[in-house]
A and B are shown apart, each in its own frame.
Chain A
Amino acid sequence: MKHVETIELMSFHYRLFHTLNLVLFLTLAFTGVLIMYTDDYTFLQILVKPLGEPLASLQGLDPEIYAVSTSLALMRLIHRLIAVIWGVVIIFYILFLLVTRNIRVFDGLLRSPSVVLEEAKAVLLHYTIGKPIPEEVEVKMERHNVMVGMAVILLIIGAGLLMISGTLMVFSGYLGITSDQYRVLLMLHDIGFYLSMLFLVGHLFAVLHPSNLPLLVAMFGDGRVSIEYAKKHMHAYLKKIKAI
């Protein structure tokens, strides 16, 4: 059997955080979409009804009439509870990265604009029409390419809006927030959600792309990829950490 030399790209804590983030964010998105859209889409009502029926019965309400609303009340409760956990997880992880000085995601962007633009163009063409990344671009690639850096900025804005507006809405009673202010907060919460969904759309495309399959396997596996693969996708980073 051929021995393949590998390198650990994703540590255990990195993968753990990613999985936690994935589960918590998707739960928040799912419950949020139900709260926002159940009234508009019948298929969502069909989806939430089975959960609400026993809950309505437990409260002595007619399940035929109250199943959907009871289910939505539960979704809202879950949304708020998970949001607290998500916030704690994210703040903890950001602090952890700051303390260990291990934030690599913006390395690609912290170079001259011409290099950044050149890499962005090459990566975009590679992902969309399959054009190979030119060698002169490849040798300068960091741990995360510039498109990842840009997507993370989008995520930070989206998640930031979600967290700040969400926290203020939950504590609106204590903070004396008026209806007009609450209305703005809810709108910002929605905008934060849509921005995060834009990130998710781009992220899904990238991780399911054949070029990134080894990274996807590594994220949900042992966190390792072959040196050959890493050389092609993050050459400059490997040199920096003296792996090559």
Chain B
Amino acid sequence: MSGVAVIVDLDKCVGCRACQVACQSWNGREALITEFTPDFTNPPDLHANSWKVVKFIEYKYKKTLRLDGTTITREDYGWTGVPINCMHCVDPPCSRICPARAITVSPEGAVVIDKNKCIGCKFCGLACPFNVPRYGKDGKAYKCTFCVDRLQAGMVPSCVAHCPAGVFTLTTLEEAREIAKDLEAKGKVVYGFSLGSYVGDSVRWIFTISKEKADQVLPKVFPEKPVNINVVKETLESVAPPIFGLAGLAIVAGLALAWWRASRVGEKK
């Protein structure tokens, strides 16, 4: 599988939101009015004008103090920043469902919405297992473009370039897989591979985090296994044309028979 990928090391994130601002700035998005939320996350979620948001997730951990030969262990709370944006699925369901073919995958693997093609039907948002596409005042869908314009100019995405803590590592998907294996061997948890066929097995934004935090942080941000959330709709959509096609043929055949029979009865009379 070709194309780029980004390894996101959540243990390095200091929550400075430089990535968020860099994204906003590079993509020329309007500033949003800040609002209070129960944590530091601001804006509270992805938005048509905020394609990258640092979520602040609280977790519990054990803190040990050693004082004069005595060890005191107590529970404490910490938080970790989780910079979220479009995961850029290898086989994006949003692109598959878009009736206007407005969502395409670039040669680099970036999943990009063509604003001029978007008809605002919201199907992409309904298909996305990560709840990424958001709708602007014009009704059209907006989301992270993986800075495809920068990628194609030989640059790294804006958020990657501006992170002061080195959270993001831009690489290829193959290399990312190798890096992930190494990290797992070192005791880290990796999210982004073996996610099932609905997203093409993997995404291009791969998150890693230490084991003690993983169980408390990852489930609050990502689904364990992205599944087809439109299974009923999609099943109906795929079976309806052949069923109604057959029904149409049955009608024609039934009517032909009825008219033939009626003409025979008329002849007999």
Contacts and interface: CB of A to CB of B under 8 A. Distances in A.
**Majority secondary structure, B binding face:** helix
Given A128-B254, A130-B257, A183-B230, 12 more contacts: A39-B98, A61-B116, A65-B117, A69-B114, A69-B117, A69-B119, A72-B100, A73-B100, A130-B258, A183-B233, A201-B248, A208-B251
Contacts of A183: 126, 229-230, 233
Interface string A57-77: 001010001101100110010
A201 B251 contact: yes
Interface in A31-73: 35-39, 59, 61, 65-66, 68-69, 72-73
A72 B232 contact: no
Interface of B: 97-102, 114, 116-123, 125-126, 131, 229-230, 232-233, 236-237, 240-241, 244, 247-248, 251, 254-255, 257-259, 261-262
Contact of B236 (A66, A194, A205): A194
A134 to B, nearest CB: 17
Contacts of B232: 187
B91 to A, nearest CB: 15
Nearest to A41: B241
Given A69-B102, A205-B255, A186 B233 contact: yes
Given A66-B116, A68-B100, A209 B255 contact: yes
B236 A190 contact: yes
A201 B255 contact: no
B79 to A, nearest CB: 26
A7 B217 CA distance: 76
Interface of A: 35-39, 59, 61, 65-66, 68-69, 72-73, 76, 127-128, 130, 179, 182-183, 186-187, 190-191, 194, 197, 201, 204-205, 208-211
B99 A35 contact: yes
A93 B255 CA distance: 31
B99 A191 contact: no
11 contacts: A35-B119, A59-B116, A72-B99, A73-B119, A127-B258, A130-B262, A187-B236, A190-B233, A194-B240, A205-B255, A210-B259
Which of B98, B117, B259 has most A Cβ within 10 Å? B117
Q: Which 4 A-B pairs have the closest CB atoms?
A: A69-B117, A69-B100, A210-B262, A73-B119
Contacts of B102: 69
B244 A197 contact: yes
Which of B230, B257, B258 has most A Cβ within 10 Å? B258
B245 to A, nearest CB: 11
Which of B119, B236, B248, B259 has most A Cβ within 10 Å? B119
Nearest to A201: B247
Contacts of A65: 117
Contacts of B123: 186
Contacts of A194: 236, 240
A131 B241 CA distance: 32
Contacts of A201: 244, 247-248, 251
B231 to A, nearest CB: 10
Contacts of A130: 257-258, 261-262
Contacts of B99: 35-39, 72
Contact of B255 (A38, A68, A69, A208): A208
A20 to B, nearest CB: 24
Contacts of A35: 99, 119, 121
A76 B258 contact: no
Contacts of B101: 39, 68-69
A223 B230 CA distance: 46
A191 B261 CA distance: 36
B121 A76 contact: yes
Nearest to B237: A36
A38 B100 CA distance: 8
B258 A182 contact: no
Given A36-B237, A66-B117, A76-B119, A186 B100 contact: no
Contact of A187 (B98, B100, B125, B233): B233
A180 to B, nearest CB: 8
A14 to B, nearest CB: 25
Given A187-B233, A197-B244, A210-B262, A179 B131 contact: yes
Nearest to B133: A179
B126 A182 contact: yes
Contacts of B131: 179
A217 B100 CA distance: 41
A201 to B, nearest CB: 5
A204 B251 contact: yes
